[in-house]
């Protein structure tokens, strides 16, 4: 419009709030107009607003109205009709309000009562009340006008006996959280929505139909990426010694469902993630810096199992192959994968611009809870009879892990074997290139009597024979 403008065409429109909201999110453009229109406007105001604008131009600017108003509406807009039940009004408000007061309030809100009986009313809602679409919305308006302070609060106190399901997931989460916090971990909480770039080749990831943004368009299938973002954030702010833990839900999609119910294609699981990077302790005049290690993380995971009541000989550890690890370990119980841990590979360190090694563990908490048997806590005196320690030195293939040795030892001797300790590993001079030497201690104890030399010798012989048969070990006793 310029000073030479003579003819003006006025248009007044009512925009669909759903399309406005979707367009704003797709283009990332937030304006005052979008903020207003995405919340809904009164469609009955379009003609009135147009006439009002034309009248102001004529009265202020000396304009002349040259044509009648043309209203183009594809479908007539009618007031919304809602059925309201008197019993529901009394139930939601908590008091029985006189019916005449209710009708007076509705009339003051310009709500038309189309029909009324002893049970309730049929109402016509003004078109400008775009937020009133349900019976509960009408009851909320009645209570708002009636006054919240006028609702009488019953002074009676009711209570019921509560029964906590076993195992109590909330209590166990707090127990493990307290333990991790006590040993130096900090809890983090990340968004369940994640970036698409993390899951481009993951068919199990759940995509959002109407995402808030392109960076938040997938539901996470692992706590790994959120934890790595938190580590990068802290390191960029000169917090390099990090121990994090997070309890959070992960979400999975399965194309095939056992029945036609589409909801069965989706699954939600609670997981626990641990992250360690940087130094375990800073150096001083007594000792040097101590870097964090994979074995430190492994000890935390095994302690968590122990606190939940799982015994070491019930859990099997095997070498894991995973796209986020350079090397790691998978814990299984009864063929179920309950945890995986390892050293984050260079690809993801480079992706998050991290220089120091990161150690990550993912524990399937939901599966642990399903497998957990709550047993009563029992107390016993300290054993009166001594432990016996025997050592075996064995020459093994490099591919044999200590976890395999420990697992076989507990399978061979389930009653009297208490601990298996690896105290020396040697590779190099005087040993073949594909071999390594393990020195392992076995702690034996019978809490009811002193072990005899014959019993001890029999157990050690059985262990040695098992290692020779299973792993082809060459045994040297000490």
Tell whether 90 and 227 lie within a shared domain: no
What pLDDT does residue 341 have?
Answer: 92
Q: What is the mean pLDDT of residues 174-186?
A: 94
Tell whether 204 and 306 lie within a shared domain: yes
Tell whether 220 and 251 lie within a shared domain: yes
Q: Tell me whether residue 117 is in a domain.
A: yes
Q: What is the mean pLDDT of residues 403-411?
A: 86
Tell whether 199 and 342 lie within a shared domain: yes
pLDDT band of residue 313 (cuts 50, 70, 90) is: low
Query: What share of residues in the chain are helix, strand, coil (percent, to 5)?
Result: 35, 25, 40
Specify the CATH number for the domain of residue 461. 3.30.70.380
- Report cis status (omega within 30 of 0) of the bond before 167: yes
Structure tokens at 457: 């010798």
Global confidence as pTM:
0.64
Q: How many residues does the chain have?
A: 478
Domain end point (choices 76, 110, 140) = 76
Task: With a cut of 70, say whether residue 258 has pLDDT above it.
Answer: no
Q: Tell me whether residue 450 is in a domain.
A: yes
What pLDDT does residue 374 have?
Answer: 62
Over the range 392-411, which residues count as b (16 or more CB within 10 Å of their CB) and which as e? bbbbbeeebeebbbbbbbbe
Domain end point (choices 325, 340, 371) = 371
Q: Tell me whether residue 206 is in a domain.
A: yes
Average pLDDT over the chain, rounded to whole?
87
Tell whether 333 and 186 lie within a shared domain: yes
Q: What is the mean pLDDT of residues 326-355?
A: 89
pLDDT digits over 94-144, tens only? 888 899 999 999 999 999 999 999 899 999 998 888 888 899 999 999 999
Domain end point (choices 45, 76, 107) = 76
pLDDT digits over 83-94, tens only? 999 999 998 988
Tell whether 238 and 363 lie within a shared domain: yes
Task: With a cut of 60, say whether residue 257 has pLDDT above it.
Answer: yes
Q: Tell me whether residue 155 is in a domain.
A: no
Structure tokens at 340: 């995986």
Give CA–CA dist 302/306, Å, rounded: 6
How, if at all, do strands 218-219 and 206-207 pair? antiparallel
Tell whether 43 and 187 lie within a shared domain: no
Q: Which domain holds residue 53?
A: 1-76
Specify the CATH number for the domain of residue 138. 3.30.56.10
Structure tokens at 270: 């609670």
Of 108 and 380, which is predicted with more confidence? 108
Tell whether 88 and 71 lie within a shared domain: no
Decide: residue 294, CB within 10 A, 0-12 exposed, 13-18 middle, 19+ buried.
buried
Task: With a cut of 70, say whether residue 270 has pLDDT above it.
Answer: yes
Tell whether 97 and 70 lie within a shared domain: no
Give CA–CA dist 28/212, Å, rounded: 10
Q: Tell me whether residue 376 is in a domain.
A: no
CB atoms within 10 A of CB 154: 8
pLDDT digits over 413-424, tens only? 888 898 888 888
pLDDT > 70: percent of the chain: 97
Closest CA to 295 of 329, 245, 331, 319: 329
Q: Tell me whether residue 166 is in a domain.
A: no
Tell whether 454 and 365 lie within a shared domain: no
Q: What is the mean pLDDT of residues 325-346?
A: 87
Q: Tell me whether residue 380 is in a domain.
A: no
How many independent structural domains does the chain possess? Answer: 4
What pLDDT does residue 226 have?
Answer: 93
DSSP letter string over 400-449?
--HHHHHHHHHHH--SSEEEEEEEEEE-STTS-TTEEEEEEEEEE--SSS
What pLDDT does residue 18 have?
Answer: 86
Q: Tell me whether residue 12 is in a domain.
A: yes
Q: What is the mean pLDDT of residues 395-420?
A: 87
102-106, 157-161, 175-179, 280-284: the lowest-pLDDT one: 280-284
Tell whether 355 and 243 lie within a shared domain: yes
Tell whether 242 and 312 lie within a shared domain: yes
């Amino acid at each position: 419009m310029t000073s030479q403008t003579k003819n003006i065409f006025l248009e007044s429109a009512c925009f669909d709030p759903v399309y406005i909201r979707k367009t704003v999110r797709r283009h990332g453009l937030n304006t005052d107009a979008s903020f207003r229109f995405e919340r809904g406007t009164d469609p009955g105001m379009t003609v009135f607003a147009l006439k009002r604008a034309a009248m102001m131009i004529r009265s202020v600017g000396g304009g002349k109205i040259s044509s009648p108003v043309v209203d183009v509406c594809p479908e007539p807009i009618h007031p919304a009709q809602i059925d309201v039940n008197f019993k529901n009004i009394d139930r939601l408000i908590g008091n029985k309000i006189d019916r005449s007061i209710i009708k007076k309030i509705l009339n003051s809100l310009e709500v038309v009562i189309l029909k009324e009986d002893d049970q309730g009313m049929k109402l016509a809602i003004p078109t400008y009340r775009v937020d009133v679409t349900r019976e509960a919305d009408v009851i909320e308006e009645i209570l708002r006008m009636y006054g919240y302070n006028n609702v009488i609060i019953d002074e009676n106190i009711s209570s019921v006996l509560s029964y906590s399901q076993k195992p109590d997931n909330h209590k166990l989460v707090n127990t493990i959280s307290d333990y991790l916090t006590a040993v130096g971990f900090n809890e983090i909480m990340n968004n369940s929505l994640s970036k698409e770039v993390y899951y481009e080749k993951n068919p199990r990831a759940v995509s959002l139909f109407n995402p808030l943004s392109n960076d938040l368009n997938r539901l996470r299938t692992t706590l790994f990426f959120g934890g790595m973002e938190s580590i990068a954030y802290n390191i960029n702010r000169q917090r390099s010694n990090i121990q994090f833990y997070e309890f959070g839900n992960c979400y999975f999609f399965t194309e095939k469902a056992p029945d036609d119910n589409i909801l069965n294609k989706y699954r939600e699981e609670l997981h626990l993630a641990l992250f360690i990077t940087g130094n375990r302790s800073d150096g001083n005049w007594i000792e040097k810096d101590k870097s964090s290690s994979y074995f430190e993380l492994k000890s935390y995971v095994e302690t968590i199992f122990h606190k939940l009541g799982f015994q070491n000989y019930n859990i099997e550890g095997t070498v894991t192959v995973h796209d986020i690890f350079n090397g790691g370990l998978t814990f299984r119980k009864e063929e179920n994968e309950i945890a995986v841990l390892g050293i984050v590979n260079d690809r993801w360190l480079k992706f998050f611009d991290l220089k120091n090694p990161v150690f990550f563990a993912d524990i399937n908490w939901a599966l642990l809870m399903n497998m957990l048997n709550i047993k009563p806590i029992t107390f016993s005196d300290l054993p009166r009879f001594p432990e016996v320690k025997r050592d075996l030195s064995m020459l093994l293939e490099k591919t044999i892990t200590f976890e395999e040795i420990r697992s076989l030892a507990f399978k061979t001797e389930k009653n009297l074997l208490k601990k298996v300790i690896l105290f020396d590993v040697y590779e190099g001079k005087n040993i073949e290139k594909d071999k390594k030497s393990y020195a392992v201690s076995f702690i034996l104890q019978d809490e009811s009597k002193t072990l005899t030399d014959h019993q001890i010798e029999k157990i050690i012989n059985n262990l040695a024979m098992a290692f020779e048969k299973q792993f082809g070990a060459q045994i040297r006793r000490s």
